[in-house]
């Protein structure tokens, strides 16, 4: 179960729900930023299409992106 994330959209400042794939991408891409930081909000707005980039282009970009795998155990060979 995922917790919905809401953000103010930049035109009317109404609260809107952010799609989970955008939240997941921006969480990983802006690793050291809080969700209230401008850098995180900028990532969300860009991927929601507010900067003129078509949503399908940003969706394709997120689909190509592979987050780095961080192992939790060391391999002893």
* Percent share of the chain, pLDDT over 70: 90
20: pLDDT strictly greater than 70 = yes
More confident residue, 51 or 70: 51
More confident residue, 6 or 77: 6
Q: Could you tell me the end-to-end alpha-carbon distance of the chain, in angstroms, rounded to an integer?
A: 37
For residues 1-29, give the mean pLDDT: 89
Q: Is residue 1 part of a domain?
A: no
Q: Is residue 53 part of a domain?
A: yes
Torsion of CA 19, 24, 27, 29, to 10 degrees: -110
User: What confidence tens digit (pLDDT) does each residue in 24-59 have?
Assistant: 899 988 888 999 999 999 999 999 999 998 988 998
User: Which of 70, 76, 74, 51 is CA-nearest to residue 61?
Assistant: 51
Q: Is residue 69 part of a domain?
A: no
Instruction: Report d(CA 27, CA 5) in Å as an integer.
Output: 12
75: pLDDT strictly greater than 90 = no
Q: Is residue 11 part of a domain?
A: no
Domain count, the chain: 1
């Amino acid at each position: 179960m995922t917790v919905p994330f809401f953000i103010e959209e930049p035109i009317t400042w109404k609260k809107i729900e952010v799609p989970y794939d955008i939240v997941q991408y921006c969480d990983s891409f802006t690793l050291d930023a809080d969700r209230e930081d401008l850098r995180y909000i900028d990532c969300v707005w860009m991927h929601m299409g507010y900067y003129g980039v078509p949503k399908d282009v940003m969706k394709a970009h997120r689909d190509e992106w592979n987050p780095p795998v961080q192992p939790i155990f060391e391999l002893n060979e």
